[in-house]
Structure 1
Amino acid sequence: MTPDAAPATHPTPPPVPYGTPDTPRIAVRGEARLEVDPEIARITVTVTARGKDRRETLADLTRRNTLALDLVKTYGDAVEHLETSALTITPELGRHGRGERVRTHHGLVHITAELNDFTALGELTTALADLDLTRVDGPWWALRPDSPAHRTARQQAVREAVQRAREYAEALGTTLTALVELADTGAEDTHPRVPRSTRALSRAAYGAGPTEDEPAPLDLEPQRQHVHAQVDARFTMAPPRL
């Protein structure tokens, strides 16, 4: 080797994934499954209009859409989110004859509302379904993305992983010494079920107008939500005497 040559270096060998006899490792998985009450509920409202004259159809659709929106807004803070998700005006051509002769016009407006008050939800869905040519679908129950239930599930999964590792170490007559790795394997997930049918709410969509007496509010039973958390953990332990 010449005087100016740099000393040879050797790459550091990667750590042994399964530990060594002097530093044995243990790998476990911790899971948590919670069942909690929902925090929000979503409904979709479809307002329709139909007529031979395009402008009259659009005017009817605008009036019904405004009526539905104003009704939702009367519930104030109980409505966390309100948006119009789609608007469609479609001409229907006649089946017979030549040329592009429009037979009728169809108008649709889709509204999405998200509520946090389930008593108000029952009242609102009933009132909306009682409007002329209005369909209500839902509710879809859910948790907020930042719900404390997700954090609780993750913490329980970690505690279970630690407890399981300790039990394995105790079975070998030794103790844990250090945490090597904690991996999130898809910490939380809600599993929504198919919502209960709301076709009874949408009778007005099939041509029935509002009745003289207001219908009694629906009693909606919130659907429990399932939260799942899972972690993989690796620990080192003192060498056991086998």
Structure 2
Amino acid sequence: MSNHGFIHSYETFGTKDGPGIRFVYFLQGCHLRCLYCHNADTWNKGEKTKMSVDEAFHEIEKVKGFIKSGGVTVSGGEPLMQANFVLELFKKCKENGIHTCVDTNGYLFSEEIKEVLDITDLVLLDIKHIDPEKYLKLTEVELEPTLQFMQYLSEINKPTWLRYVLVPDYTDDAQDLENWAKYVSQFNNIERVDILPFHQMGAHKWKEIGRAYPLENCRPADMEDVKKAVEIFRKYHLPLPDNQK
């Protein structure tokens, strides 16, 4: 069981990665190669800081008073690539009464990950597309593992927030949005659905890792794009946040 994790960076005052004010660890490593990835510099596992569980929790303790209304989120990359590290870190969090959250793409699943999910208070899950062929082109991996992951979260009634990145000409097709909304509307454990408009703020990271950015000429999603998606999601009574209702 690993007592160390590969950390890309961390944020001590996060407000977009779960409820309340949160300490957010961004871990290294990801199997997906999303065309719109804004953290492409997290793809490879061992390129940044190596921290022990105790060291990682010590950083959390420094701001414990500020995250009482929130908690700790592990993101990435894909944090469940380092499931053992996340499990041991979350054990310390729970011993200290700190809310825990995993931000995942749902591609990986194992007995170790089941242990992580058991101790996790909230899951943030990205179901990036509902069409298997389009999902493959968008991420370079198959969709089915993420759908199975969602099914398991439903079976254990794990509180889940879904996020959908709205990318013009890639994930904004009306029928695809209908199919996505219809699919996720069957699950009773989904507490919130966030529509995340595509932006270009991560483009420079592709240059930093020496890769051509495939969506360089893709326009950012605007309010009209979001409005169209919201109207479709409303029809399926999805729990949208107040700023998107």
Q: Same fold by TM-score, threshold 0.5 exceeded?
A: no
* Higher RCO, Cα 8 Å, sep 6+: 1
Q: Which has the larger radius of gyration?
A: 1
Q: Which protein is richer in strand relative to its size? A: 1
- Classify the TM-score, shorter chain: under 0.3
